Structure 1
Amino acid sequence: MDFLPSEDPGAAEARRLDETDPLPTLRAEFHVPAAPDGGEAAYFAGNSLGLQPRAAAQLVNEELLDWARLAVEGHHHGRRPWVGYHELLREPAARLVGALPHEVVAMNSLTVNLHLMMATFYRPAGDRTRILIEDSAFPSDSYAVGSQAVHHGLDPAETVVRLRPRPGEEHLRTEDVVGRLEREGDRVALVLLGGVNYLTGQLMDIPTITKAGRAAGAVVGWDLAHAAGNVPLRLHDWDVDFAAWCSYKYLNGGPGAVAGCFVHERHVRDASLPRLSGWWGNDPATRFAMAPDFVPVASADSWQLSNPPILAMAPVLASLRIFDRVGMDALRAKSRRLTGYLADRLAGIDGLEVITPSDPAWRGCQLSIRVADAAGLVRRLADEAGVIADAREPDVVRLAPAPLYCTFADCHRAAEALAALLR
């Protein structure tokens, strides 16, 4: 089935938009999967796993060569010495999320980092025990907060408060979240929401909710798995207490890539905060004294447990260099153009419902579609049209035109394929 005939005026317009866009595509810097016809696929699953930067293999190979050439001496004498390798990721990651460099550390995986943060910042006492999350939180977040409640001897059914949209609506309203905090905030110990909801693609009002949560006396943390590398963030200025994100979605760091963590400056210098400690969180000035007493370094590094996994960090470094070169403001602007174009094309297709906010200010680059047999539709998109998307049970297809490598031609191709398959 040919979804892009050469005489299609829509295809010609999409190509014109690609040729004239203020930010030319960086697609050539990534490995793109093949379509069934032998060409490149239209890849819309970067909100699940980003494409591999072509520079990643070189960086990984350089570390393998240093390992072969230097063995243990690579810790101090490699081309990028391993003992401080995580420092290479610090400043580009801080620019990505709007933080001061000492507020950011690359470590572990997302849910491990959330647990480490909650070990410090979830301190239930008296009536203040509750944890606020969104009802449609990613399952791992639900598991994490529930297990934290159990760890403190509390009943998750009473401790974890799940915020739901109004009847008949898909999204949480900011005023409803703020109102809940104003009414019941004296019982809330922790607010932990997704910056961009994984299912609907809704971008939450992070600064407003953070302000309301902190005014209520709660700690406010954010899961930025679908926000980091997708939308501009200003975590320091917004006064967020902590945040964590993965690096394998929009950040293109590879499957299971090393995650990131933010801890606000007002906390990182507080050595009295309880934390789960490990060797690499100790002050580097005394780390190799091998003393039994923990001396936390005055940065987010003090939550770091172990020495950095070099081979896993190298692809993240390759991707962060691209984000640093292009900048989130330019990427966000292109994202709005691409996603707006795709949203306009989807609006005319019968048989699907876009459940992502229509206002570009309150969405990233993901568009979620409610449609019958979502999993089957995703398989047919890939097999028959070379369009790679993903499905979330029971009835949602997610399309994410990531601006680093997706094009207007990809969006046109996806819309044409959806229209044909749904017919």
Structure 2
Amino acid sequence: MNSLVPTTTHPDAADPLAAFRQEFHLPPGPDGQPCAYFCGNSLGLMPKAARAAVEQEFESWERLGVEGHFQAPSFWMHFHDTLTEATARLVGALPLEVVVMNNLTVNLHLLLVSFYRPTGSRYKILMEGGAFPSDQYAIESQARLHGLDPAEAIVELVPRPGEHTLRTEDIEAKIAELGDSLATVLIGGVNYYTGQAFDMAAIARAGHAVGAYVGFDLAHAAGNLELHLHDWDVDFACWCTYKYLNSGPGGTSGVFVHERFANRPDLVRLAGWWGHDASVRFQMKKGFRPMAGAAGWQLSNAQIFPMAIHRASLEIVDRAGGMAALRRKSEQLTARLESLIHGLGLPADKLEIITPADPTQRGCQLSVLVHERGRELFDFLAAQGIIADWREPNVIRLAPVPLYNSFEDVERVGAALTQWVNERMGE
């Protein structure tokens, strides 16, 4: 008779990635219990493996000193090479096309030196309006570096009136309109504020059709979306590793340069000795000869401690089944959170999700525009042990990260929002 009684399996019990939550340190909430952490789009949580990974390098430094470059178990001299294969899998690239080095904005500048080469007639650079400030400042300074007025050189894409996000056809139309005046397209793979994921393949095609270089800042896309940079024919890209890749505050950065530029020593770039041909690097001679591929944009030797954390994090991604597996859970978590927010029944002039509803146009982030008492709601969530992200003037960003967020976490957000509406919205 019991077999006739329907049973419901909790989604966390059926989640093949549920065990990975135990591999991260979850900060305590106000009650001392683990918080519901929805801020991985700002800073990912600490993998438990990170401490041991760095401790190993401390031990090598203590015991070997300079000889750690050759005798440490991780062989510091070529430490960055141990990240290449996993990085290529992460972003859909050939190993030749990727390198881990520096920090994000440093890498953005290095790439723009090579891929923003304005001329008298082709000098425009296209970006999305409201891009992350580092991108705005970098592009402004790059324009000035070439003696250009940023107000003339930079073209910003803005949504249609009454809309919060950009339409792909509008991006393509603007690229076609700029035509021969367009030198470079640089867009965030996922907009940090709205959470919109852009159609990078379509943008690359449109940019190349008018003879422009096309690149992406993947700070909010790497470790969040399935990426296929090589197949999408992207020219260049860079990303940080401290958000969805959980590699520590201020962590190292990744770079992608398409293989068609792999053997282009004529490309203008800022050179450093670690980008020089490794076979003769230690001959210490004048005359820069770049390594093939993205490695030719390196400046200095590996940042061992940040890279040790990053390697530990990349190993977790691979053990979880890679980005395809993470993306499946991401879509489920985000869809459930979206359903709970819509279930509040609030009109758009009170609260609305400005992230696209189409799962192909977003990652694991929902940006909630709160028209009244938004900061108060944010503080209320924090008091309930729910860590989100506040962006002026009135947006709360919620990012359910598949490696460590559970469906129970999402339900906690829904319950807290319901309590808020019942207690506060009628005041």
TM-score of the two chains, using structure 2 as the length reference: 0.94
Does residue 107 of structure 2 align to residue 113 of structure 1? Answer: yes
d(CA) in 2 for partners of 1:398, 1:202: 12
Alignment match, 1:29: 23
Is the 8 Å Cα contact of residues 331 and 404 (structure 1) preserved in structure 2? yes
Alignment match, 1:90: 84
Tell me how many residue pairs correspond in the alignment.
410
Alignment-mate amino acid for residue 366 of structure 2:
L
* Pick aligned residue for 1:332 from 327, 330, 341: 327
d(CA) in 2 for partners of 1:153, 1:373: 45
List alignment gaps of at least 5 residues for structure 2: 1-6
Cα deviation, residue 360, structure 1: 1.0
Alignment match, 1:214: 208
Alignment match, 2:3: none
Alignment of 1:352-363 (within 5 A): 352-363=351-362
> In the TM superposition, what whole-angstrom CA distance separates every residue of 1:111-148 from its partner, at most 9, and x where no partner exists?
11110000011100121101100002111101100110
* Pick aligned residue for 2:291 from 287, 290, 297: 297
d(CA) in 1 for partners of 2:278, 2:205: 34
- Report the 3-state secondary structure (helix = DSSP H, G, I; strand = E; otherwise coil) of the residue aligned with 2:215: strand
Alignment of 1:357-372 (within 5 A): 357-371=356-370, 372=372
Alignment match, 1:60: 54
Does residue 406 of structure 2 align to residue 411 of structure 1? Answer: no
Decide whether aligned partners of structure 1 residues 306 and 373 sit closer, same or farther in structure 2, where only a CA change above 3 A counts: farther
- Report the 3-state secondary structure (helix = DSSP H, G, I; strand = E; otherwise coil) of the residue aligned with 1:19: coil
Cα deviation, residue 181, structure 1: 1.3
Alignment of 1:5-404 (within 5 A): 16-326=10-320, 327-349=322-344, 350=346, 351-371=350-370, 372-383=372-383, 385-404=384-403
- Report the 3-state secondary structure (helix = DSSP H, G, I; strand = E; otherwise coil) of the residue aligned with 1:201: coil
Runs of 4+ in structure 1 displaced over 2 angstroms?
Answer: 21-25, 372-380
d(CA) in 2 for partners of 1:194, 1:376: 30
Between stretches 347-356 and 308-317, larger displacement belongs to 347-356
- Report the 3-state secondary structure (helix = DSSP H, G, I; strand = E; otherwise coil) of the residue aligned with 1:346: helix
Is the 8 Å Cα contact of residues 134 and 193 (structure 1) preserved in structure 2? yes
TM-score of the two chains, using structure 1 as the length reference: 0.95
Cα deviation, residue 295, structure 1: 1.1
d(CA) in 2 for partners of 1:399, 1:58: 30
Cα deviation, residue 374, structure 1: 3.4
Cα deviation, residue 328, structure 1: 0.6
d(CA) in 2 for partners of 1:46, 1:208: 28
Alignment match, 1:6: none
Cα deviation, residue 25, structure 1: 4.3
- Report the 3-state secondary structure (helix = DSSP H, G, I; strand = E; otherwise coil) of the residue aligned with 1:73: helix
Q: What is the root-mean-square deviation in Å for CA atoms of aligned residues?
A: 1.2
d(CA) in 2 for partners of 1:55, 1:22: 20
- Report the 3-state secondary structure (helix = DSSP H, G, I; strand = E; otherwise coil) of the residue aligned with 2:187: strand
Is the 8 Å Cα contact of residues 17 and 403 (structure 2) preserved in structure 1? no
d(CA) in 2 for partners of 1:419, 1:138: 32
